[in-house]
Structure 1
Amino acid sequence: MSVPVLLAVTGAPWEADVVRRTERAPGIRVVRRCVDLADVMAAAASGQARAVLLADDLARLTSDAVSALHTRGIAVLALVDPTENGAPFGAEDRLSRMGIERILPADVSPEDLGRAVTDAVESGPPASLSHFGGGFVPLTPETAGNPQPVYTQGSGRVIAVWGPTGAPGRTTVAVGLACELAVKGVPTLLADADVYGGTVAQLLGMLDETSGLAAAARSASSGSLDMVMLAKHARQVEPHLLVLTGLSRADRWTELRPAAIESIWSAARMLAPVTVVDVSFCIETDEEISFDSLAPRRNGATVATLEEADEVIVVGTADPVGLTRLIRAIHEVRAIVPSVNLRVVVNRVRSGSLGSSPADAVGEALTQYAGVQPAALLPYDLNAVDTAMSRGRSLAESAKSSKLRKSLQQLAGTIAKELVG
């Protein structure tokens, strides 16, 4: 039985030749000639085709459209100018980054065309990432047959984990939260955007010199960043967790320009339902008034992330100095981003400098001086943190029953409910 195919090559200089070759191609049958992408999507929704053959310059063709076709079980093939040489940022490279699995020259023979369409249909969509409604699900034997939650396309939330100076545990919270969300089956992207000393890769045992975030920033600057490209720059460390590693050296901060960072978070919203970003402590903007001309902004990436984030988790420590810094930090971030949605997390809660009831002391101080209540109180659990750090693993893997891990589970559970609520 021949494979039903949609043909969308209207306006291409080689349209007539392609139509003749397609009609003579063995094993396939053109059920409809589409004039534009909207026509393709409408025909695909009707279920009348199993493959789409389109021109490389089809207007409004995006990775989202390709993903939507793959979701319907439709193979996507593209025809490019016969002189295309596959150069970087050329038509073939661009189509490949969109997730199109077969790219053929427009003068392909009818026999090769029929064979390519048949093979693409039999092989199914690419097996790297299966995109769906604003998220990703890595295809593994364990997840291939399981139904996944549906998220509204493009509505992924960006959560920035920030806090004052003094190492209050921003990275511990960011990594722990992202891992716990992933354990709950929420496709999550964890990004290290700390321009002063990111350590996400080290905490997860990913010791390499390549920065995924810097590579994504370069793609964004060149205009080539999309959802598929962002996924390629990230590394999968757990079934539902991708990680964009940070800068290997603090002096590379110039690679993370604010405009590129904004583009990255925009693409992240398409890739995953939730993106957790570990950012630097400093949000001062003094460098902007220290030069007559436009100055580089070391803290620009942090400020841009806070401005783009749907929510900022502010992390502080449960001691007199830490609480003072936390209260000041809450006022500072509100001044920088007045409309920000804050969620305050207090780390290293223990009896000692705050008396026998540290939780009550923390709540009273934050209510009186910042007008907020803590969303989570994380216990001081040095043994669990040391174990995870020494093994280069998350708390979910190395200290499953620790008190700190259980508190992070509760925080992740609250956020996960909000995502699908």
Structure 2
Amino acid sequence: MTSKIRRLYLYQALSYTFFDRAIFTIYLASNDVSFAQIGMLQSLLFAATFFAEFPMGVLGDKIGRKSLIIAGRFCVVAYSVLMLLGGSWGGFNVFLIAFVVFGIGNAAISGADSSFLYESAREEGRKPEFTRIASRFHAIAVGAVAFGMLIGGQLQKIDWSIVFGASAVLHLVGIAVIATIQEERPAGPDGSNDSIRKILTDLSSVFRRDKSLSIFVLGSALLGSTINAFYIYVPVLLISEGFSTDLSSLTTACAAGLAIVASAQAWRLVGWTGDRLMFIALPSVAATLLVCIAIAPFWIIPVIAILVILLEDVLDPLVSRVIHDGISDNVRASVISTESSAFSLLSVLLFPAFGWLADEYSFNSMALIAGLFCCLPCLLLLPRGAMVVSADKHEGAPEGEVSDK
């Protein structure tokens, strides 16, 4: 394992440790924020991400990935501070600001970090292993989230300030780690890069020329936004049914723990089943499970929610590889940010809609609608995925045969 990738793994572990991840909705509810208002906050977060996403992607292609990641992580630190202030004196208006800042930070990070990882793997001669590397990168993030979930419930017993303060400290350490990584920027000898106008022109050309990429990006965004909009309300459901805060946190952490295994071994599953089957089966199974919630008893709902998240975690590294393959460095972050923009725009619509459904009807009704929304992505993901599979067959050995040493 190369030093650069090892440090990226360490950065990932530190930067995705959010001690409030499983309980932030509980924190908001304890400050008199309703289901609908939680949905509004999530919608605002993704609206901020949507409007900042594309400019941030272009900026990442212009100035480099690392600088943009660092700026984004400072926004995440500011989010933790603002959340704490909102609970102590600012109220809902400060929560609004916190979610906007978090959304901008997410926009800065989303296209840059996966581009940085892909380019680092290629520089070290490990491009054929990228699905494996991306699987582990994602698994580390899930593991960090799981750790945060597990510990967050215990920290909350001490004080909410510990929850948000500890998160901010770890994110600052993560910033220090990634600052030590040298970036090989796609630039000329004088450090210059393509103009923003050229980046925009090339990006437009990519999507005009490659219709299957545009369709794939839409399918990925629809599947991810639907599953996340559903899952965000699960902790509040558990609390409403009598779960304690720490038990809810433990349940969600267990789900994340299973997701670590699913993410880390996703590349093996792809090797056994083939990409085409994965792109058809996983969204279809997720849709079926969500529809089943409409008739399921309460005790099985957390189990189904865990399974749905596991399916997304298996698919995520494969989707990342398919998008990265075949796009050039000068528009890489912009293309990834376009996918994230679509995710954010759909989330702006789905988060409050799902919150409204849960408030006005039931959690089961909301899950039923989410299941129906998951039916379309399998049709949108398949064409591009099949093209990449065909190309891979002509490149050489499968990923599993490349040494990890």
What band does the TM-score fall into relative to the shorter chain?
Answer: under 0.3
Question: Which has more strand, going by share of residues?
Answer: 1
Q: Which structure is larger by alpha-carbon Rg, 1 or 2?
A: 1
Higher RCO structure, 1 or 2 (CA under 8 Å, sep 6+): 2
Question: Which has more helix, going by share of residues?
Answer: 2
Query: TM-score, normalising length from structure 2?
Result: 0.26
Query: TM-score, normalising length from structure 1?
Result: 0.25
